[in-house]
Structure 1
Amino acid sequence: MITIRSSIGQSLIGLALLSATAIFTQTAIAETITGELGNVRAEISYEKPEEYQYKNIRLKIIRAGKTVLDQKLPQEDEYDRPVGNISGQEKENNLPVQDLDGNKEPEIIADFFTGGAHCCTYSLIYRYDSKSQKYIKIRHEWGNGGYQLKDLDKDGLPEFNSRDDRFAYAFTAYAASGYPLQIWRYRQGKMVDVTRSYPKLISNHASELWQTYTQARQQGDDGKGFLAAYLADKYLLNQGQDGWGRVQQAYKKSDRTKFFADLRKFLRETGYIK
């Protein structure tokens, strides 16, 4: 009996050790997101010990077979994680590596999501500096939304087609918020707002917002979030006066005086009213 108990005890200890080893092995294995263009290859690796938990996120950039950058990336918390690419233009779990500014040198776009019901997404964009032979990065916040990488003007270089997330919750709940169009270019290591260069796209976007406002009213919503974004689009078109006319004619609720005052102040603070 003593021998049997001893064997059972040893077996249980062995199983426990095997289980612990399996768990340790599982947490130690890193998943990887990769992308490449020409002789530049980028890799983001991370560990995922539990669902929605991410640790040890590292970025490695390799040029012509030589590792130029290999560093651990900072996280806001354990839910802050890479998402492959937000734009959806590349394959899933692919790290975008593209020439964004036409200098024949590809940039690396590392997209992240901080977790939560809506917010937030951001991009780390890395460019190669030939003088220092190092990669320099900037961080761009997208807020609740993301972007689509598209060559909007057909010049061979992509733009970041996005929205102005400052309008989230500004006048209503998130689900009823509208957003003006926002288009960015990456040039010389900076993101430049070039939305006003695309009047046709802005006009189409304003029309869609007005249609969404009409549908919201039919469903019982006051539509303030969509009216605010519509008016911002109209200012981008230098049609602010016409926009105000439509908005004031459409919105007749008892809080209209306060809403119009708050809206004018907000548009001035966000740069739509110069």
Structure 2
Amino acid sequence: MKPFRKLINQLLVSLAIVGATSVITDTAKAETITGQLGNIRAEISFDKPEEYQYKNVRLQIIRAGKTVLDQKLSQENEYDKPIGGLFTDKIPVLNLDGDKEPEVIADFFTGGAHCCVYSLIYRYDRTSGQYKSMRQEWGNGGYRLQDLDKDGIPEFDSRDDRFAYAFTSYAASAYPLQIWQYRQGKMVDVTRRYPKLIANHASELWKEYNKIKQQDDGKGFLAAYLADKYLLGQGQDGWRRVQQVYRKSDKAQYFAQLRKFLRETGYAK
């Protein structure tokens, strides 16, 4: 009987260990997102103890088999979700500024009903042999990487998220076009270099305003439209059209608020 009891005890201990291991695995699942271009490889690893929690987020960048950066990334809260790229499950590793040295983009979503996306962009500094980073806030809208001028270098096609809630609810807000280029560690607003895209965007905003004006006052769409017109150097014409169509009782207050906002955000002087 003693050998049998010993065997039972060993089995119970083994089951306890397996059970404990299972609990640990279920409550803290380790995951990894990767991306690669040539001999540059990026990896983001993190633990996922709960469905919407992300902890121990760590970024590694490997160059020709050598780990050059191994860094635990700070999080504003445990709901900051590493998402790879916005439209792919891989980390974007690509040349953003034409210097033949790939950058690494780590995108994060902060959680919530409709907010927010930000990017950590890493560039390699040959002098120090290290990676340096910057953070770009995208708000609700995110971005799309597109080579808009066909020069082989992508632009960040986005929108000005400062217009969210500025004049109306989030659902009724609209946004002017915003285009960025990454240049040696800095993001440069180059929206005004693309007048055709701005004009098309303004035209779409005007059409949308006319579609919804019977159900909504359209303040959000008119504000974004006027901002686009300022980007085109057509602020006076934009004001003329906005003042013609918006005739509600709060027009004086709305126009004053709109002028102030456009000055504060740099669209008007």
TM-score, reference length from structure 1: 0.92
% of aligned pairs identical? 74
What's the CA shift for 1:15? 5.3
Question: What's 2:24 paired with?
Answer: 24
Question: What amino acid is the match of 1:41?
Answer: R
Equivalences for residues 16-55 of structure 1 within 5 A = 17-55=17-55
SS of 1:243's equivalent in the other structure is helix
Match of 2:179 among 172, 180, 183: 183
Question: What's 1:258 paired with?
Answer: 253
Cα distance in 1, alignment partners of residues 180 and 121 from structure 2: 13
Match of 2:90 among 75, 78, 94: 94
SS of 2:96's equivalent in the other structure is coil
Q: Is the 8 A contact 1:57 1:73 kept in 2?
A: yes
Question: What amino acid is the match of 1:83?
Answer: I
Give every structure 1 segment of 4 or more consecutive aligned residues whose post-TM-superposition deviation is greater than 6 Å.
7-14
Is residue 2:60 matched to residue 1:60?
yes
Cα distance in 2, alignment partners of residues 255 and 148 from structure 1: 37
SS of 1:268's equivalent in the other structure is helix
What's the CA shift for 1:20? 2.6
Question: What's 2:4 paired with?
Answer: none
Structure 1 258/8 Cα, relative in aligned 2: closer, same or farther at 3 Å? farther
Match of 1:172 among 168, 179, 184: 168
SS of 1:117's equivalent in the other structure is coil
What's the CA shift for 1:210? 0.7
Cα distance in 2, alignment partners of residues 210 and 8 from structure 1: 77
Q: Over residues 243-270 of structure 1, what are the superposed CA-to-partner deviations in whole Å (9 max), with x where a residue is unaligned?
A: 0011000101000000000000000000
Cα distance in 2, alignment partners of residues 174 and 270 from structure 1: 18
Q: Is the 8 A contact 1:58 1:72 kept in 2?
A: yes
SS of 2:76's equivalent in the other structure is coil
TM-score, reference length from structure 2: 0.94
Q: Which runs of 5+ in 1 are unaligned?
A: 1-6
Question: What's 1:69 paired with?
Answer: 69
Question: What's 1:198 paired with?
Answer: 194
Q: Over residues 117-141 of structure 1, what are the superposed CA-to-partner deviations in whole Å (9 max), with x where a residue is unaligned?
A: 1111100000000000000000000
Q: Is the 8 A contact 1:179 1:226 kept in 2?
A: yes
Question: What amino acid is the match of 2:264?
Answer: E
SS of 1:35's equivalent in the other structure is strand
Cα distance in 2, alignment partners of residues 149 and 18 from structure 1: 46
SS of 2:118's equivalent in the other structure is strand
What's the CA shift for 1:18? 3.4
Question: What amino acid is the match of 1:259?
Answer: Y
Cα distance in 1, alignment partners of residues 21 and 33 from structure 2: 26
Cα distance in 1, alignment partners of residues 8 and 109 from structure 2: 48
Cα distance in 2, alignment partners of residues 217 and 12 from structure 1: 71
Structure 1 9/221 Cα, relative in aligned 2: closer, same or farther at 3 Å? farther
Cα distance in 2, alignment partners of residues 201 and 169 from structure 1: 24
Question: What amino acid is the match of 1:56?
Answer: N
Cα distance in 2, alignment partners of residues 164 and 250 from structure 1: 24
Q: Over residues 87-137 of structure 1, what are the superposed CA-to-partner deviations in whole Å (9 max), with x where a residue is unaligned?
A: x2xxx3100000000000000000001111111110000000000000000
Q: Is the 8 A contact 1:42 1:97 kept in 2?
A: yes
Q: Is the 8 A contact 1:27 1:47 kept in 2?
A: no
Question: What's 1:247 paired with?
Answer: 242
Question: What's 2:228 paired with?
Answer: 233
Structure 1 13/186 Cα, relative in aligned 2: closer, same or farther at 3 Å? same
SS of 2:101's equivalent in the other structure is coil
SS of 2:100's equivalent in the other structure is coil
Question: What's 1:151 paired with?
Answer: 147
Q: Over aligned residues, Cα RMSD in angstroms?
A: 1.8
Equivalences for residues 81-120 of structure 1 within 5 A = 81-86=81-86, 88=87, 92-120=88-116
What's the CA shift for 1:25? 2.6
Q: Over residues 10-42 of structure 1, what are the superposed CA-to-partner deviations in whole Å (9 max), with x where a residue is unaligned?
A: 988875653332021334542111111111000
Structure 1 230/13 Cα, relative in aligned 2: closer, same or farther at 3 Å? same
Question: What's 1:79 paired with?
Answer: 79
SS of 1:74's equivalent in the other structure is coil
